[in-house]
């Protein structure tokens, strides 16, 4: 790893030391440098962190490739049209993914550092000490510290899993050969995205999860996606318990129980996609008196402060939202608070989220269950996509929109979408929530006809009207 600015030794005193050179670390360092601070950005290993190297960027380009395959095969939904597609050269696809990752890492991380004179990049394993941070064997002094070391795939405690050459979200995207069959353990965001991607690449996929598919989302949305997965030939086992796992020359066997009934699942490979573990080892957190939660994540308050004075944390290493854009947002707040007096607070009330399955899932605000738990008397509107003109014209009516509102005030509280192009529609609802719109106001807003986002307007109108009785472009 290149030292973009050489360490200046014991005499250097930094205003801020940032441990971790991923999205959160860069956000904190650049924010602080823009404030005129002298910043030490400490990285260890490949610069750029999870998102650009092994997460968002590589997975989304591979998911798009899988969507291209499916799109050709699904062309027959239009009368008189047919199509087919297949993976001709897996090695070329992987190489193109690697080239994209390398290019973005260079342009968006490495090449940025010389543009900020206030940032000194230091390479080495870091740990806290009483005066600041030790990088390798070199102590540095810093007035404030931000920990942004990210996370890594976690492994569930399935008996025998330690003997299996399992895949994670990282190693799956580096496979040099496509397996014939794959068991995916975990029904969360990552598991759902990668399971469908591999199935569309021609792999026989079986997915198992302890509860339902995507337990974080509305039940109607989860049920719709499960149906879509099954229609594409994937096998789903939901609500199961794990008994054991083993591997031999024929492949992997996973023993589970469904409703008390034992089932043996067999496949060539096993993908573990059961969440993330924060990278906290070797940082000296316990010695520094920095509190962690049951998952091992650093606990931060609404100002991004840890339990130790003058030490902040941001991103996947914390107990906050595990999205790269929220990591960058939290890190920016941490830097500004560290330098300017803790006046800013973390606010995720209108944080949109997206799951890049096909159709895409997206949501913002409160679910129906969360709204009720918060004390609201709720009302909901569920609009199937077969009532949306865009979906009818595209002959693709997979999905729905669900809106949640306060029954008394008519105030919008949240909503979720499962639809092709759903990810590009959710920001409209985020803005509606941010500006305190009511159901009536959203329903009266002018939307362009034959767009997916028009489904939000129709869903809002559905609180008080039978939308099946509206003409095609009703205002």
pLDDT in 10s for each residue of the chain, 475 residues: 334 344 444 457 999 999 999 999 999 999 999 999 999 999 998 999 999 999 999 999 999 999 999 999 999 999 999 999 999 999 999 999 999 999 999 999 999 999 999 999 999 999 998 778 999 999 999 999 999 999 999 999 999 999 999 999 999 999 999 999 999 999 999 999 999 999 999 999 999 999 999 999 999 999 999 999 999 999 999 999 999 999 999 999 999 999 999 999 999 999 999 999 999 999 999 999 999 999 999 999 999 999 999 999 999 999 999 999 999 999 999 999 999 999 999 999 999 999 999 999 999 999 999 999 999 999 999 999 999 999 999 999 999 999 999 999 999 999 999 999 899 999 999 999 999 999 999 999 999 999 999 999 999 999 999 999 887 775 5
The dihedrals phi and psi of 65, each to the nearest 5 degrees, come to -60, -40
**C-alpha 397 chain-centroid distance:** 25
Q: How many CA atoms lie within 13 A of 191 on its CB side?
A: 31
Give the global pTM. Answer: 0.94
* pLDDT of the residue at 44: 95
Q: Is 233 annotated as a binding residue?
A: no
Q: How many CA atoms lie within 13 A of 428 on its CB side?
A: 23
Query: Domain residue spans in the chain?
Result: 13-48+109-152+277-340, 161-274, 353-464
As a CATH number, domain 353-464 is 3.30.390.30
Q: Is 60 annotated as a binding residue?
A: yes
Tally of CB atoms within 10 A around 319: 17
Instruction: Return all residues near 370 (Cβ < 8 A) that are at least 6 apart.
Output: 414
Strand, coil or helix: what is 471? coil
Q: Is 187 annotated as a binding residue?
A: yes
* pLDDT of the residue at 227: 98
Does domain 13-48+109-152+277-340 correspond to CATH entry 3.50.50.60?
Answer: yes
List, for residues 371-425, the tens digit of each pLDDT value: 999 999 999 999 999 999 999 999 999 999 999 999 999 999 999 999 998 999 9
Q: Are strands 39-43 and 119-123 parallel, antiparallel or unpaired?
A: parallel
- Structure tokens, 384: 């199937």
* pLDDT of the residue at 132: 84
Query: What whole-number distance in Å separates Cα of residue 24 and Cα of residue 5?
Result: 20
Q: Is 43 annotated as a binding residue?
A: no
Q: Is 386 annotated as a binding residue?
A: no
Q: Is 177 annotated as a binding residue?
A: no
Classify the phi-psi angles of 347: left when phi > 0, otherwise alpha if psi is within -120 to 50, otherwise beta: beta
* DSSP one-letter string for 387-421: G-HHHHHTT----EEEEEEETTT-BEEEEEEEETT
285-303 residues labelled b (16+ CB within 10 A) or e (exposed): beebebebeeebbbebeeb
Q: Is 471 annotated as a binding residue?
A: no
Q: Residue 139 pairs with which residues in a beta bridge?
A: 134
* pLDDT of the residue at 96: 97
Q: Is 186 annotated as a binding residue?
A: yes
Superfamily (CATH) of domain 161-274 = FAD/NAD(P)-binding domain (3.50.50.60)
Instruction: Return all residues near 147 (Cβ < 8 A) that are at least 6 apart.
Output: 19, 20, 283, 298, 306, 311, 312, 313, 314, 317
Please identify which residue in the block is written with the tokens 């895409």: 360
Q: Do domains 161-274 and 353-464 have the same CATH topology?
A: no
* pLDDT of the residue at 475: 58
Q: Is 52 annotated as a binding residue?
A: no
Instruction: Return all residues near 34 (Cβ < 8 A) that are at least 6 apart.
Output: none
Tally of CB atoms within 10 A around 2: 8
């Amino acid at each position: 790893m290149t030292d973009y600015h050489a360490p200046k030794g014991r005499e250097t005193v930094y205003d801020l030391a940032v441990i971790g050179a991923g999205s959160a670390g860069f956000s904190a360092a650049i924010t602080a440098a823009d404030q005129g601070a002298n910043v030490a950005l400490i990285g260890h290993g490949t610069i750029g962190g999870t998102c650009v190297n092994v997460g968002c960027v590589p997975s989304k380009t591979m998911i798009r490739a899988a969507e291209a395959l499916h799109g050709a095969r699904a062309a027959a939904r239009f009368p008189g049209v047919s199509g087919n597609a297949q993976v001709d050269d897996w090695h070329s696809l992987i190489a193109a993914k690697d080239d994209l990752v390398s290019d973005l890492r260079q342009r968006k991380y490495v090449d940025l550092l010389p543009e900020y004179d206030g940032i000194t990049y230091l390479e080495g394993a870091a740990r806290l000490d009483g005066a600041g941070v030790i990088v390798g064997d070199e102590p540095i002094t810093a007035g404030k510290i931000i920990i942004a070391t990210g996370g890594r795939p976690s492994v569930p405690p399935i008996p025998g899993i330690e003997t299996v050459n399992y895949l994670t979200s990282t190693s799956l995207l580096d496979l040099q050969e496509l397996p014939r069959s794959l068991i995916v353990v975990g029904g969360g965001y990552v598991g759902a995205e990668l399971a469908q991607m591999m199935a569309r690449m021609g792999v026989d996929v079986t997915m198992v999860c302890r509860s339902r598919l995507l337990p974080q989302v509305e039940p109607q949305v989860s049920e719709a996606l499960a149906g879509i997965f099954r229609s594409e030939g994937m096998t789903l086992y939901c609500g199961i318990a794990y008994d054991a796992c083993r591997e031999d020359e024929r492949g992997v066997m996973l023993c589970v129980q469904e409703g008390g009934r034992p089932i043996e699942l067999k496949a060539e490979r096993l993908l573990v996609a059961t969440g993330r573990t924060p990278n906290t080892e070797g940082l000296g957190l316990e010695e520094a008196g920095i509190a962690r939660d049951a998952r091992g994540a650093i606990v931060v308050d609404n100002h991004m402060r840890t339990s130790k004075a003058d030490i902040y944390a941001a991103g996947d290493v914390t107990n906050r939202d595990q999205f790269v854009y929220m990591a960058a947002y939290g890190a920016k707040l941490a830097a500004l608070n560290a330098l300017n007096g803790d006046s800013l607070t973390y606010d995720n009330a209108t944080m949109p989220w997206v799951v890049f399955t096909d159709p895409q899932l997206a949501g913002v605000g409160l679910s129906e269950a969360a709204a009720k738990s918060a004390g609201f008397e709720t009302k909901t509107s569920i609009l199937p996509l077969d009532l949306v003109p865009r979906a009818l014209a595209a002959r693709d009516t997979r999905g729905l929109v669900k809106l949640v509102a306060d029954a008394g005030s008519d105030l919008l509280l949240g909503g979720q979408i499962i639809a092709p192009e759903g990810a590009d529609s959710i920001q409209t609802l985020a803005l509606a929530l941010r500006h305190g719109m009511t159901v009536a106001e959203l329903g009266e807003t002018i939307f362009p006809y034959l767009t997916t986002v028009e489904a939000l307007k129709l869903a809002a109108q559905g609180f008080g009207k039978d939308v099946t009785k509206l003409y095609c472009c009703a205002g």
